[in-house]
């Protein structure tokens, strides 16, 4: 097929004519609809692979077109496409060719089977009027030298399409209606408490890009609220601090307009005053009577990286009538921020709960709670003016003790803080002086123990450094300390009144101190003889408990205990157990086996 150089000249002439036409903008075309895009979609087939037309409305009241053809979706045979040399697109109107484009051997596969034709760059630009009909055909040739269509039985056919209607200029009044009321309790800088009430306006859409939605009153020519979303709070009442009140049940004309600033909003509203919406607000007293102020806020933090928040429907055993709550982020010094969470109390629910995760130790968040009620299709939103603090604990050093167990052994005990003990929350390094001797990762246990063995183990100082797993620069260390003697001593003193220890004519052993070292338990106590005779022979049993478990028992005999006397003795018990009298509870018991008195 021969090239047509006349078509290229036509392009140049057309581009010049188009540029001139753009300067002649009809007064009837609204600037708000220029550039509006409308898309029509079609099912591609072998007769015509047209899949989509995108129309763009122009300032001269016509449409530009971008056509998309989907070769794959049309399901041509592969060799049909592979053998094609030229692709030809033609657009006709009233049987007259008004636009065409020839593509030589395009790489269909690289284009994923889709060809997009923008007629701004075509050989002739078909600029159509609204609702005009066009005939669009798409064919491909198999032979470059002959004008023969490679139909292969595809029977290419034109498709008739119709341009869309002229876009309508949008209504500048975006007010869809009033959705409810809100009441806020506030405090002035001098401590004066006051109340504000607002009505909630909902727009048909949010503001345009780079603009704000303004609530404008045409009766007093004032703006009562603005928003960057579809919802606008319109302040209608304040009882103190520059009080005002338009909640007087009198109808007023309102508009919601999107504009870059207040002045432009007022101009747009005044220019379209006939499109205003008339609304009247209920009285502040009636609005207040519908508000609900009963709820309860609770927060807990079992882990330093999490915090759980619960809002209940009741307070002080009183159940409120709220249908739900909204929870907002709060910034100290600035006020409420965005809505964070909302809960409904329908279906018998009496609370809502959420959990913050991924936090660092010492994280602080602030929230406010709004109670919500619904009546007569209006929402009543109440905020008591309070904000609540939710905080995770600071990272802390663990509890730590080192206890002597023998000449070469020290028992280490680490008490992991509750909010740091879950698996993966912290790592603890145990040091002997400056040398790291143990690495322990939190595993959910409250207490972690291990025994360290080394020559002269009792002579060193030990400490534990805890590292936050979520941020390793956060650390806390214990003080370095030498191992303690593994000893428990009862507080106070032995009663000096022997009758308070054991009744007359009886004897008793009173354990007072317990210690362990190198496989031996030593029990130091007092044998008490409360009788006017010497105790020639005294046999008794002693029992030792540690961590609520019996760990040792022994029967011993002592002779020649003076009358009305207290004798201090130490009993040694060999054991394979390794009690810890420093960190765990210590218990004891005694029982008399036999007693023999004489002169």
**Pick the residue with more confidence: 511 or 13?**
511
DSSP-assigned letter for residue 347: T
pLDDT tens digits, one per residue of 444-461: 999 999 999 999 999 999
Strand order in the sheet with 586-598: 549-561, 534-546, 586-598
**Cα gap 232→214, rounded to integer Å:** 8
436 class by beta-carbon count within 10 Å (0-12 exposed, 13-18 middle, 19+ buried): exposed
**Cα gap 112→97, rounded to integer Å:** 29
- What average pLDDT does the segment 10-33 reach? 44
**pLDDT the model gives residue 89:** 79
Q: Which long-range contacts (CB under 8 A, 24 or more apart) does 550-555 make?
A: 551/521, 551/575, 551/577, 551/579, 552/521, 552/577, 555/593
Task: Work out the pLDDT band at 23, boundaries 50, 70, 90.
Answer: very low
Domains 399-477 and 487-598 agree in fold: yes
**Cα gap 496→477, rounded to integer Å:** 45
- What average pLDDT does the segment 53-63 reach? 91
**pLDDT the model gives residue 107:** 52
pLDDT tens digits, one per residue of 89-147: 788 888 888 777 766 645 555 556 676 767 655 445 567 889 999 898 887 766 544 44
**Cα gap 384→370, rounded to integer Å:** 8
**DSSP line for 243-258:** -EE--SS--EEEEEEE
**Cα gap 265→213, rounded to integer Å:** 8
**pLDDT the model gives residue 88:** 74
Contacts of 457 (CB under 8 A, 6+ apart): 407, 408, 409, 410, 483
Domain spanning 487-598: CATH 2.60.40: yes
User: Does residue 343 carry a pLDDT above 80?
Assistant: yes
**Cα gap 202→199, rounded to integer Å:** 10
**pLDDT the model gives residue 205:** 94
Q: Give the number of C-alpha atoms closer than 13 A to the C-alpha of residue 511, restricted to the C-beta side.
A: 24
**pLDDT the model gives residue 370:** 97
181 in Cβ contact with 200 (< 8 Å): yes
Residue-averaged pLDDT of the chain: 88
pTM over 0.85, yes/no: no
**pLDDT the model gives residue 152:** 53
Q: Which of 288, 187, 190 is nearest to 237 (CA)?
A: 288
**pLDDT the model gives residue 68:** 86
CATH of 399-477, one of 3.30.1360.20, 3.90.1150.10, 2.60.40.10, 1.10.10.1200: 2.60.40.10
Least confident stretch, 141-145, 196-200, 478-482, 565-569: 141-145
User: Does residue 42 carry a pLDDT above 80?
Assistant: yes
55 class by beta-carbon count within 10 Å (0-12 exposed, 13-18 middle, 19+ buried): buried
Task: Work out the pLDDT band at 21, boundaries 50, 70, 90.
Answer: very low
Phi-psi region of 318 (alpha: psi -120 to 50; beta: other; left: phi over 0): beta
Query: Class of the 5-162 domain?
Result: mainly beta
User: Does residue 430 carry a pLDDT above 80?
Assistant: yes
**Pick the residue with more confidence: 272 or 79?**
272
Q: What angle do CA 43, 48, 49 make, to 5 degrees?
A: 60
**Cα gap 51→73, rounded to integer Å:** 9
So where are the chain's domains? 5-162, 175-288, 290-391, 399-477, 487-598
Any idea which architecture 290-391 has in CATH? Answer: Sandwich (2.60)
Strands 378-383 and 175-187: parallel
User: Does residue 357 carry a pLDDT above 50?
Assistant: yes
360 in Cβ contact with 470 (< 8 Å): yes
- What average pLDDT does the segment 391-411 reach? 97
User: Does residue 185 carry a pLDDT above 70?
Assistant: yes
Q: How far is CA 115 from CA 40, 83, 96, 138, 141, in A?
A: 16, 17, 24, 11, 16
User: Does residue 235 carry a pLDDT above 80?
Assistant: yes
- What average pLDDT does the segment 339-363 reach? 95
């Amino acid at each position: 097929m021969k090239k047509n150089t006349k078509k290229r000249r036509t392009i140049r002439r057309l581009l010049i004519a188009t540029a001139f036409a753009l300067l002649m903008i009809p007064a009837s075309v609204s600037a708000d609809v220029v550039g509006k895009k409308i898309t029509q979609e079609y099912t591609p087939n072998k007769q015509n692979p047209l899949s989509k037309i995108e129309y763009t409305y122009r300032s001269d009241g016509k449409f530009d077109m971008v056509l998309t053809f989907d070769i794959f979706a049309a399901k041509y045979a592969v060799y049909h496409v592979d053998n094609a040399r030229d692709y030809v697109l033609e657009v006709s109107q009233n049987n007259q060719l008004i636009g065409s484009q020839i593509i030589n051997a395009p790489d269909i596969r690289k284009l994923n089977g889709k060809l997009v034709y923008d007629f701004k760059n075509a050989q002739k630009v078909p600029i159509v009027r609204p609702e005009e009909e066009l005939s669009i055909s798409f064919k491909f040739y198999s032979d470059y030298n002959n004008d023969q269509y490679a139909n292969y039985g595809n029977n290419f056919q034109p498709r008739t399409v119709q341009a869309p209607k002229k876009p309508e200029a949008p209504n500048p009044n975006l007010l869809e209606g009033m959705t409810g009321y809100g009441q806020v309790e506030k405090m002035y800088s001098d401590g004066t408490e006051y109340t504000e009430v607002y009505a909630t306006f909902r727009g048909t859409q949010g503001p345009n890009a780079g603009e704000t939605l303004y609530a404008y009153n045409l009766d007093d020519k004032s703006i009562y609220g603005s928003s960057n979303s579809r919802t606008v709070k319109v302040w209608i009442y304040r009882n103190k601090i520059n009080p005002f009140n338009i909640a007087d049940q009198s109808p007023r004309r309102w508009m919601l307009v999107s504009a870059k600033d207040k002045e432009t909003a007022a101009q747009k509203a005044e220019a379209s005053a006939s499109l205003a919406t008339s609304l009247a607000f209920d009285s502040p007293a009636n609005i207040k009577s519908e508000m609900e102020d009963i709820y309860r806020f609770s927060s807990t933090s079992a882990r330093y990286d999490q915090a759980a928040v619960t809002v209940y429907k009741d307070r002080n055993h009183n159940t409120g009538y709220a249908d739900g709550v909204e929870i907002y982020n709060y910034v100290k010094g600035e006020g409420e921020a965005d809505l964070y969470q909302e809960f409904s109390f329908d279906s018998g629910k009496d609370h809502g709960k959420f959990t913050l995760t991924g936090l660092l130790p010492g994280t602080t968040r602030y929230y406010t709670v709004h109670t919500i009620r619904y009546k007569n299709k209006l929402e009543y939103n109440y905020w008591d003016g309070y904000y609540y603090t939710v905080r995770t604990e600071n990272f802390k050093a663990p509890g730590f003790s080192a206890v002597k167990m023998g000449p070469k052994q020290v028992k280490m005990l680490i008490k992991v803080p509750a909010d740091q003990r879950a698996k993966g929350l912290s790592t603890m390094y145990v040091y002997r002086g400056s040398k790291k001797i143990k690495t322990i990762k939190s595993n959910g246990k409250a207490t972690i123990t291990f025994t360290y063995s080394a020559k002269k183990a009792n002579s060193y100082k030990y400490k534990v450094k805890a590292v936050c797993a979520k941020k390793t620069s956060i650390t806390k260390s214990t003080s370095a300390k030498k191992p303690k003697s593994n000893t428990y001593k009862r507080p106070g003193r032995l009663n000096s009144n022997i009758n308070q220890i054991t009744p007359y004519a009886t004897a008793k052993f009173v354990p007072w101190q317990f210690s362990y070292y190198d496989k031996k338990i030593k029990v130091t106590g007092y044998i008490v003889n409360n009788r006017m005779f010497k105790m020639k022979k005294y046999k008794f049993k002693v029992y030792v408990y540690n961590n609520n478990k019996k760990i040792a028992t022994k029967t011993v005999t002592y002779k020649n205990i003076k009358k009305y006397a207290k004798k201090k003795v130490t009993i040694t018990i060999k054991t394979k157990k390794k009690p810890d009298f420093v960190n765990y509870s210590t218990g004891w018991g005694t029982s008399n086996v036999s007693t023999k008195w004489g002169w």
